[in-house]
Chain A
């Protein structure tokens, strides 16, 4: 029964472009755009949750890693004419290298100081993006980023030019990141991450090096934030405004109101909090008020996120 429901859901997610075309043909482009953004934000939120949800470090630096990846891809694709997959890899690598370099000093700070330190990193990254005009073109933005072309040199090439094509590309990235996320957060690795999160001194007594596992989550999270590359290939433009604190706020809402540390919760959060603001466009005047009120409601009624609310409901139905 549950398995069947999951299969139907998966089929619907894959077939979404066709479903949208059949059900609401007039809104097709707009809805697909929302779906693509949902997939991209879900991927980014999963990469973020590796740090905040699984090693319990409240990093606010994610826009910096997203930005490093996005700019690396944008610059390599427009000036050096690198193929898409190569600049995607380079973007992930660049973000990971930055995380590895700043991680060790940042993790010397604890709790609130760490959050402030990572916020500082994000702000500095934004200032650099705005002012290092020779490289980033500053507020003029990097434009004309080509459409992604999949394939290896010498083999067949597929250019992604349509909205459904983009959707499936973003979905594939999301599935890949979700599988890696699950690998990392369960079994022995996940247990070590969670031990560090739950009780750092005791983790030390268990033979776990807390810094090593924090750095691992931080660096992999940053590398996966390199999906910024996918984002800029989709929009074909990268501007400094893409990497402001607003992005952190979005990610915090998705992760904490969806369900921190939970794959299902983060996915749910990404769907709800990317789609919800769009749905609320029906009432443009009150949009932000309603959105804010709904966020408050979730925080008050289910502080652990919507995922835990669903778990309680399904638990009650199962008669527990």
Chain B
């Protein structure tokens, strides 16, 4: 079974069809990129899959379970993680707490146990802290663990958001422009991180504008234009596809 299967998804905004009957299948372990000009519906599609927008028609299935009617926190707890295009952290929480938030909700302890801080809850917390420290190491933010996340630089916040998405060890990772607006060193760093996840067998769906990144790391590329899927294939095939060239550069 496909890990993610989007079937005939439609989303209208005030008469504009932002996503127009899109089909998309992502198999377990794949690294797929979603590209297209600005306003082609990539982020809208992400938002429909992860419960932030209600689709007007069609379905998104994760392991056969319908995500289209689920709230964002339900989608997250099923094992679908996402990042946001606008850098998104909890500015007043510490860097470490930013990561802990992402795991604790998946550990599903009872509210009362959380209030009483039972031994089990304290053990889960210790495990979460250990994992969060490893994640901070991975993205190079260990020295800033106790700083407020709002005090980080743009690129550091981007790395923090990425590490947060990884905290619950998700089965599917949706990344919305991880390499946008960061410096070339950081772009390479991001690329390595994403490839690292792919080597571990994680499934990644990537929205990205940076063509070098997309062509370098994707196994498969899906192209949207005006809400419709206009092409799909290997990076080499997409690069030569006349419809894609037309969508990007005009006739």
- A residues lining the B interface (CB < 8 Å): 183-184, 187-189, 191-192, 194-195, 197-199, 201-210, 216
Q: Give the top 3 A-B pairs by smallest Cβ distance, nearest first.
A: A204-B72, A207-B105, A207-B76
Q: Mark B201-212, 1 if CB is under 8 A from A, else 0.
A: 000000000000
Inter-chain contacts of A197 with B (CB < 8 A)? 92
**Pairwise interchain contact B72-A205, C-beta atoms closer than 8 A:** yes
CA distance A198 to B89 in the complex (A): 8
Inter-chain contacts of B109 with A (CB < 8 A)? 188
**Pairwise interchain contact A195-B101, C-beta atoms closer than 8 A:** yes
Say which residue of A187, A189, A191, A207 sits within 8 Å of B106 (CB atoms).
A207
Any chain A CB within 8 A of the CB of B26?
no
**Pairwise interchain contact B91-A198, C-beta atoms closer than 8 A:** yes
Nearest residue (CB) in A for B149 is: A198
8 A Cβ contacts from B102-131 to A: 102, 104-106, 109, 111, 114-115, 117, 121, 125
**Pairwise interchain contact A208-B101, C-beta atoms closer than 8 A:** yes
Any chain A CB within 8 A of the CB of B81?
yes
**Pairwise interchain contact B76-A205, C-beta atoms closer than 8 A:** yes
Any chain A CB within 8 A of the CB of B100?
yes
Nearest residue (CB) in A for B93 is: A194
Any chain A CB within 8 A of the CB of B12?
no
CA distance A192 to B125 in the complex (A): 13
Given contacts A191-B97, A192-B101, contact A202 B88 (CB under 8 A): yes
25 residue pairs from A and B, CB less than 8 Å apart: A183-B115, A188-B125, A189-B111, A189-B115, A191-B93, A191-B101, A192-B104, A194-B97, A195-B90, A195-B101, A198-B91, A198-B93, A199-B91, A201-B84, A204-B52, A204-B72, A205-B50, A205-B82, A205-B88, A205-B165, A206-B102, A207-B77, A207-B102, A207-B168, A209-B73
- B residues lining the A interface (CB < 8 Å): 50-52, 71-73, 76-77, 81-84, 88-93, 97, 100-102, 104-106, 109, 111, 114-115, 117, 121, 125, 164-165, 168
Given contacts A206-B105, A207-B106, contact A199 B73 (CB under 8 A): no
**Pairwise interchain contact B104-A188, C-beta atoms closer than 8 A:** yes
Nearest residue (CB) in A for B94 is: A191
Given contacts A205-B72, A205-B82, contact A187 B105 (CB under 8 A): no
**Pairwise interchain contact A201-B111, C-beta atoms closer than 8 A:** no
Inter-chain contacts of B51 with A (CB < 8 A)? 204
Q: Report A193 CB to chain B, min CB distance, Å.
A: 10
Given A187-B114, A203-B90, 18 more A-B residue pairs with CB atoms under 8 Å apart are A183-B117, A187-B117, A188-B114, A191-B93, A191-B97, A191-B100, A191-B101, A192-B104, A199-B89, A199-B91, A205-B76, A205-B88, A205-B165, A206-B102, A207-B77, A207-B168, A209-B71, A209-B73
Inter-chain contacts of B111 with A (CB < 8 A)? 189, 216
Say which residue of B93, B115, B168 sits within 8 Å of A195 (CB atoms).
B93
Say which residue of B77, B88, B104 sits within 8 Å of A199 (CB atoms).
B88
Inter-chain contacts of B76 with A (CB < 8 A)? 204-207
CA distance A197 to B105 in the complex (A): 16
Q: Report B158 CB to chain A, min CB distance, Å.
A: 13
Nearest residue (CB) in B for A220 is: B115
**Pairwise interchain contact A201-B88, C-beta atoms closer than 8 A:** yes
**Pairwise interchain contact A206-B164, C-beta atoms closer than 8 A:** yes
Nearest residue (CB) in B for A187 is: B117
Inter-chain contacts of A198 with B (CB < 8 A)? 90-93
**Pairwise interchain contact B114-A201, C-beta atoms closer than 8 A:** no
**Pairwise interchain contact A208-B73, C-beta atoms closer than 8 A:** yes
Inter-chain contacts of B72 with A (CB < 8 A)? 201, 204-205
CA distance A203 to B81 in the complex (A): 12
Nearest residue (CB) in B for A180 is: B115
Inter-chain contacts of A201 with B (CB < 8 A)? 52, 72, 84, 88
CA distance A59 to B104 in the complex (A): 27
Given contacts A204-B51, A207-B102, contact A194 B92 (CB under 8 A): yes
Inter-chain contacts of B71 with A (CB < 8 A)? 204, 209
Inter-chain contacts of B90 with A (CB < 8 A)? 194-195, 198-199, 202-203
Nearest residue (CB) in A for B50 is: A205
CA distance A183 to B121 in the complex (A): 14
Q: Report A49 CB to chain B, min CB distance, Å.
A: 15
Say which residue of A189, A204, A216 sits within 8 Å of B73 (CB atoms).
A204
